[in-house]
Chain A
Amino acid sequence: MNKVVSPKSTAKSIVMRNTFPEEVLEHVLSFIDSHSDRNSVSLVCKAWHETDRWCRRRLFIGNCYSVSPAIVIRRFRDIRSLAIKGKPHFADYNWVPEGWGAHAYPWIAALAEAYPALEELRLKRMVVSDEALELIGKKFQNFRVLVLCCCEGFSTDGLAYIAANCRNLRVLDLFECEVDDMGGNWIGHFPDSYTSLESLNVSCINSELRFSALERLLCRCPNMKALRVNCTVPLDKLAILLEKAPRLMDLGTGLFMTELRPEVYKRLAVAFSRCKEIRSLSGLWDVAPSYLPVVYPICPMLTSLNLSYATIRCPDLIKLLTHCQNLQRLWVLDFIEDRGLEVLAASCKDLQELRVFPSEPYNQEPNISLTEQGLVSVAVGCPKLQSVLYFCRQMTNAALFTIARNRPNLTRFRLCLIEPRSADWQTHGPLDDGFGAIVEHCKDLKRLSLSGLISDTVFEYIGTHAKKLEMLSLAFSGGSDLGLHYVLSGCESLRKLEIRDCPFGDRALVLNAAKLETMRSLWMSSCRVSYRACKLLGQKMPRLNVEVIDERGPPESRSDECPVENLYIYRTVAGPRLDSPGFVWTVNENWAMRSPSL
C-alpha cells in the first residue's frame, strides 16, 4: 500500500488514498450479503479488513468451537445478526453422545456484554438452557429474531421469559427442537402491549398451547406472516386462527382430524379460501381425508408443502398434488408410493426439492410400494429438480444412471436405503457405478449421502468428479483406506465429511492431514482409526482439534492400537475446548508428549 509505483501516479494515488472516504466503502460493502464474499472482502487489504471490522453486521459461525466468543468480539465491533452451529450433523440421529457440548450460554453471555444491540440470533444444534433464554430477554433491548433449529435444553419457562421480555420480538422460530414441558401458559406471557410478532413456529412443542392466549396474540399482531402451531391445536379451532390472520404466508396446522361436521367443514373452507397469500403449508398431523378438500383453494399458489407427518394415503395424496401445480418443495411420507410420484412428476413441473421419508422404517416388510421407480419418474419429469432426499428399500444402478443423465442440475442428492448394504437388486452388485454416474453428470453437486452396498470404486469416482462437493455422508461403505484417501485427496471443495461404520483406518487420515485444515469438520464413528493416529494428528496439526469421544473410558487405558469409538476433527483458532465432558478427550501437543505409562 505504501509502495509508490511511479512518480506520475504518486500524487494521484496519494489523493485517492486520502480522500476515499470509509463511509463510501462501508456503503458499498453493505450490499454484499453473502458470508463468504464478506470474508473475502476482509482479506483484500488492511484498510478493508479494518472497515469490515467496523461495518460487519451479520456473521455466520459454522462450528461454535472453531472460534471463541472473545476472538469474535475482538474482531468485530458491532454485530447485529449472528448464526452459530453447534453439534455435528450426526447428532440429529442421536449418534453423538448426549452431553457432548455446544452450549449456547457462554456465547450469549459474552455477546450480551459486547453487542447489546444484537437483534438476531440463529442457533442450530446447540444446547440452549433456560438461563440462556433469560439472558437474551434481559440483555438485548432490541432483540427481534430468535431461530432455534434442532436445539435442546430449554423448557417452556425459558420461552415464557422470552415472551415476557422481548418487546420487539418479530420472529420466534423453534424448528424441530426438544422443549421440556413445564406446564403453565407460556404463550400468555406476551404482554398485552406486544404487537410486533410476525413469525411464530412452535410446532415442536408437545404440550398444549393455551388457545385463547394464542388467539389474542394473533388479534393484536397485524403483521403475522408465518404461524406454525403444534399438534394440540384441533382442527375446528384452526378456522378461528385463519380468520384472525388472513394474510399468512406460511401456515402450519395442528391436528387435521376431527369428526366430520358440516359447519366445521364449511367454516374451514371459507377461511382457507380467504387466505390468498399462503405459500407454504405444513403440520397436517393425522389427516382426515374427508377434510382435505378444504385446502384445495390454496393449493395452486403453494410453493412449499410439508406432508411428512401426514398419514394421507396415496389416492388422497394424488388428488391433493394434482391441485398443486406451482409446487417447488415437497416433503412427504412414503405413502405417496411410485404412482403418486408419477403424478407429481406430471403435475408439478416447478419442483425443486423432494424429500420422501419412511413411515415405518423398522418394519422389514411394509406394505408400501415405493421403489426406485418413483424417484426416476420425478427426476425425469421435473426439469428443475435440484435437491433430493429419498428413503427407500431398493435401488439399482440403472435407476441412478437415469437420474444422473436426466438431472445434471442436482445439487443435493441423499439416498438412504433402509437396509444397510443393500445391493443393486437386479445385478446383486454394488451401487458404485450408479453413484459414480451421479457425481460424473451432476457437476454442481454440493451434498451427497451414500447408502447401500458401496465399495471403494465409488470413492475414486467421487474424488475424480465431485469437485464441488461440500458435504459427504457415508455409512457402511467402502472396503479399505483407499476409499477415504480418494475422497480426501480428490474433493477440492469438501467441507464436511461424516462417516460411520466404515472400514477406514489410520493411513488415509494421516496422509491427508493437511486436507483436514481446509475442511470444517470430519466425523468418524465406529471406524478403524487408532488412538495412535489420533495422537499423531493432534501433535502435528496444532490448528485442529482432534476429539476422541469414547464412552468406554479414557483412551489411555486401552492399547494405542485400539480403534476409537468416535472421532471428531475440526479446525479451530481457539485451541482445545474447555468444556469437554468426561467422555471427550481433545488430543493436542500436550497429550502426545505424555509418557505411555499414564
Chain B
Amino acid sequence: MEEPSKKEELCPNLLDLIPKDIECVFNIDGDKQRSHGSSDEKKLELRLSPPGDDHRWSTIHNPKIQRDESLPSLWYHYSTTQSNFSNQHQQKQQPPPPKFSFLQYQKGPAVAMESSQPCSRRMVDLRNAEKKAFAINPANNTAAANSSQKRAAAAAPPVVGWPPIRSFRKNIASSCSLGKSSLGPQCTITSEIANGKPGKNLRKGLLVKINMEAVPIGRKIDLNAYDNYERLSAAIDELFRGLLAAQRDSSAGGNKEKPEEKTVITGLCDGSGEYTLVYEDHEGDRMLVGDVPWHMFVPNVKRLRVLKTSKLFTLNLDVVKVRSRVGLYDPLKIFSVGGLLTGDVSLFQKILAALITGAIAITIANPTDLVKV
C-alpha cells in the first residue's frame, strides 16, 4: 500500500525467519470500508500479508508450537486511509506513543550496535529490519538513545515500585538503618520489647491507604519506605501524577491522543501547592501532615488524603470559627459594658457578648450555614 520502498528490500531478511506454512487471509469489516475509500479513519485490517500486492508474509508463528493447526495465526496491520498518502511514513502507521507513566525507551537497537560484542551480519540486518519495521519512532531513536543514556548516567529519579521486593523486606532496609547505629543491648527495639510493646511498625510493611480528591481509586503507600516528608511527598507525586492527568483528560471529555502535560504535585506538606496532604489518626481526627516530626507521625497515621488546598478552607473553617469566637469574646464583652470595668461583668452581658461573638464568628467562617433552613 503506502509502504516505503525500503521495506521491500528488508522483507527477505525477516522472511528468513518465517516458515512459509500457514497462510490465510482474515479480513474483518475494515477491508470493506477500505474498498469504499473512506478516509481519515484508522482501520483495523486482519491480514496475513501486509498491504500491497507483491508482499506475501506467511505467519511467523512456529508450527511446532501450534497445537491446533486449523486455528489461524493472526497478523494484523494497521492501515490508514488518510488522504495524505504521500506522507505515509512507517511510523505514522503506528499510533503516536502516549506519554504515560512508563519511561519511553528506544535505546535498544542503537546501543546494541555500539556494543563491542561481535554480531553476525544477520543480526545487524535484523536490527535494521527491526528498527524500521517494528520500531515506533525510528527517526527519534538515536536522539532518544543519547538523551536516555545521559538520563541513566545521571541520578535517575527512583521508579515507583522498583526494585521488586516484598513489603516485608522493605522493612528490613529501614530497620537496618536504625539498627546500624544502635546495634547493641541498649537499642530501641529491645527497650520496646522490654516494655511489652513489640516493635510493630519496624516489622510490618506500614501500608496506609491514600486517596486523592477526584481520583476514585485509592492506592496504598508504604510509609516505612521513606524517612522524611520530602520523600513521601515525592512518592505521592509519582503515584498520582499520571492518574490526575488521566482524570483531567477524561473529565475534559476528550479522546485526546496526546494527553496534557502532567503537572508536578508539589508543596504537599507545607501548604504551598495546589494540593495538601492530610492524615487521619487512629481517633479519626484529621490533621495536616508536616506538623509533627516524622518518627511521631508514622505510628499515628491511619490513612492519608490528598485534598485541594482551596477546599482545605472548609476544614479550617472550624478552626477559624473557634479562633474568632475566642478572640472576639473579650473585646466585645468590654465593649458591651461600655468601657467601664468596675466590678464584675454581669452574667447577662457575658451571655450577650458570647452570642454576638458567636454570630460574628459564624458569619465570617461559614456564612452558608446561616442561610440553611
Which chain A residues have a beta carbon within 8 Å of chain B's beta carbons?
90, 92-95, 97-98, 176, 178, 181, 204, 206-208, 231-232, 234, 255, 257-260, 285-286, 288-289, 308-309, 311, 333, 357-364, 391, 397, 416, 418-423, 427, 429-430, 432-433, 453-457, 460, 475-476, 478-483, 485, 489-490, 492, 500-501, 503, 505-507, 510-515, 518, 526-528, 530, 532, 536, 540, 551-553, 557-563, 565, 582-583
Asked whether A433 lies within 8 Å of B117 as measured between CB atoms, the reply is yes
Q: A429 is contacted by which of B95, B117, B161, B250 (Cβ under 8 Å)?
A: B117
Asked whether A286 lies within 8 Å of B189 as measured between CB atoms, the reply is: yes
**B158 in the interface, Cβ–Cβ < 8 Å?**
yes
Cβ-defined contact, B115 with A427, below 8 A: yes
Query: Which residues of B141-172 are within 8 A (CB) of A?
Result: 152, 155-156, 158-159, 161-170, 172
Q: Is the CB of A551 within 8 A of B217?
A: yes
CB-based contact B250/A552 at 8 Å: yes
What are 12 A-B interface contacts by the 8 Å CB criterion?
A93-B161, A234-B193, A427-B116, A430-B112, A475-B162, A480-B135, A482-B126, A483-B108, A490-B62, A511-B59, A536-B46, A583-B217
Q: Is the CB of A360 within 8 A of B255?
A: no
Contacts of A565 on B, CB cut-off 8 Å?
100
Contact present for A94 and B123 (CB under 8 Å): no
**B257 and A430 contact, CB distance less than 8 A:** no
Q: Which residues of B contact A455 (CB under 8 A)?
A: 107-109, 111-112
Closest to B204 in A: A206
Which residue on chain B has the smallest CB distance to residue A526? Answer: B102
Interface size on B, residues (CB 8 A): 96
- Inter-chain pairs besides A457-B127, A553-B216, 13 sampled, C-beta below 8 Å: A286-B179, A358-B169, A421-B152, A432-B117, A455-B111, A480-B136, A485-B60, A492-B65, A536-B46, A552-B243, A552-B246, A558-B249, A558-B250
Which residues of B have CB within 8 Å of A231? Answer: 198-199, 203
Task: List the B side residues contacting A430 at CB < 8 Å.
Answer: 108, 111-112, 115
A298 to B111, CA, bound (A): 52
B114 contacts partner chain A, Cβ-Cβ < 8 Å: yes
User: Nearest chain A CB to B139's CB is how many angstroms away?
Assistant: 14
- A552→B94 CA distance, assembly (Å): 23
Q: Is the CB of A333 within 8 A of B163?
A: no
Type the 1/0 row for B89-119, where 1 means its CB is closer than 8 Å to any CB of A: 0000011011011111111110110111101
* Other-chain residue from A260, A397, A427, A492 in contact with B64 (beta carbon distance below 8 A): A492
**A457-B123, A505-B136, A510-B76 given as contacts; is B246 within 8 A of A333 (CB)?**
no
- Taking CB as reference atom, which chain A residue is nearest B257? A559
Selected from A94, A433, A530, the residue in CB contact (under 8 A) with B161 is: A94
Q: Which among B44, B172, B216 is the interface contact of A532 at CB below 8 angstroms? A: B44
Which parts of B242-257 form the interface with A (CB within 8 Å)?
A: 243, 246-247, 249-250, 255-257
Contact (Cβ within 8 A) A479 B166: no
Q: How far is the CB of B232 from chain A (nearest CB, A)?
A: 12
Is B187 in the interface zone, CB < 8 Å from A? yes
A278, chain B: closest CB distance, angstroms: 23
Partner of B105, one of A358, A476, A563: A476
User: Given contacts A505-B136, A561-B95, is CB(A511)–CB(B130) below 8 Å?
Assistant: no
Does A357 contact B111, Cβ atoms closer than 8 Å?
no
Contact B172–A359 (Cβ < 8 Å): yes
Distance in angstroms from B129 CB to nearest chain A CB is: 8
Q: Which residue of A lies closest to B14 (CB)?
A: A482
- With a cutoff of 8 Å between Cβ atoms, the chain B residues found around residue A429 in the complex are 111-112, 114-117
Counting CB contacts under 8 A, is B310 at the interface? no
Q: Are A456 and B109 in contact (CB under 8 A)?
A: yes
Instruction: Report chain A residues within 8 Å CB of B119.
Output: 457
Query: Would you give the shortest CB distance from B334 to chain A, in whole angstroms?
Result: 53
Q: B152 contacts A94, CB within 8 Å?
A: no
List residues of chain B with CB within 8 A of the CB of A490. 62
Contacts of B117 in A (CB 8 A): 397, 427, 429, 432-433
Q: Taking the complex as formed, is B341 at the interface, i.e. its CB lies under 8 A from any CB of chain A?
A: no
Q: Which 9 A-B pairs have the closest CB atoms?
A: A479-B108, A455-B108, A429-B115, A526-B102, A561-B95, A552-B246, A232-B198, A259-B185, A480-B134
Bitwise interface map of B from 333 to 347 toward A, beta carbon under 8 Å scored 1, else 0: 000000000000000
List B contacts of A288 (CB < 8 A). 183-185
Chain A residues positioned under 8 Å from B64 (CB to CB): 492
With a CB–CB cut-off of 8 A, which chain A residues contact B262?
none
Query: Which residues of chain B from 174 to 225 have a CB within 8 Å of any chain A CB?
Result: 175-177, 179-180, 183-185, 187, 189-190, 193, 198-200, 203-205, 207, 216-217, 219-220, 222, 225
Contact B173 A359 (CB under 8 A): yes
Chain B residues closer than 8 Å to A475, beta-carbon distance: 162, 164
Would you call B165 and A358 a contact (CB within 8 A)?
yes
Rounded to whole Å, the gap between the CB of A252 and the closest CB of chain B is 13
CB neighbours (8 Å) of B257 from chain A are: 559, 561
B173 contacts A362, C-beta separation under 8 Å: yes
Kindly state the separation between the CA atoms of A507 and B136 in the bound complex, as whole angstroms.
12
Q: A360, B111: Cβ atoms under 8 Å?
A: no
**Smallest CB gap from B215: residue in A:** A551
Q: Give the contacting residue for A258; candidates B97, B103, B190, B219; CB below 8 A.
A: B190
Q: Which B-chain residue is minimally distant from A236 (CB atoms)?
A: B193
- In the bound complex, residues from chain A placing their C-beta under 8 Å from that of B134 are 480-482, 507
Q: How far is the CB of A520 from chain B (nearest CB, A)?
A: 15
Please indicate the chain A residues that have their CB under 8 angstroms from the CB of B158 in the complex.
362
Please indicate the chain B residues that have their CB under 8 angstroms from the CB of A479 in the complex: 105-109, 112, 130, 135
Q: What residue in chain B is nearest A89 (Cβ atoms)? A: B164
CB nearest to B166 among chain A residues: A92
Q: Which residues of B contact A232 (CB under 8 A)?
A: 193, 198
Given contacts A364-B155, A479-B107, A552-B246, are A311 and B176 in contact (CB under 8 A)?
Answer: yes
Interface status of B73 (Cβ within 8 A of chain A): yes
Q: What A residues does B170 contact at CB under 8 A?
A: 361
Contact A513:B74 (CB < 8 A) given known A362-B225, A479-B135, A583-B217: yes
Chain B: which residue is nearest A451 at the CB level?
A: B163
A260 CA to B205 CA, complexed, in Å: 29
Measured CA separation A359–B243 after assembly (Å):
31
Name the distance in Å between B27's Cβ and chain A's nearest Cβ.
13
Contacts of B184 in A (CB 8 A): 288
B117's nearest neighbour on chain A, judged by CB, is: A433
Question: Given B44, B68, B166, B203, which contacts A206 in the complex, CB threshold below 8 Å?
Answer: B203
What is the chain B residue whose CB lies nearest that of A259? B185
Complex contact A503–B106 (CB within 8 A):
yes
A259 to B193, CA, bound (A): 12
Q: Are A536 and B76 in contact (CB under 8 A)?
A: yes
B103 / chain A contacts, CB cutoff of 8 Å: 476, 501
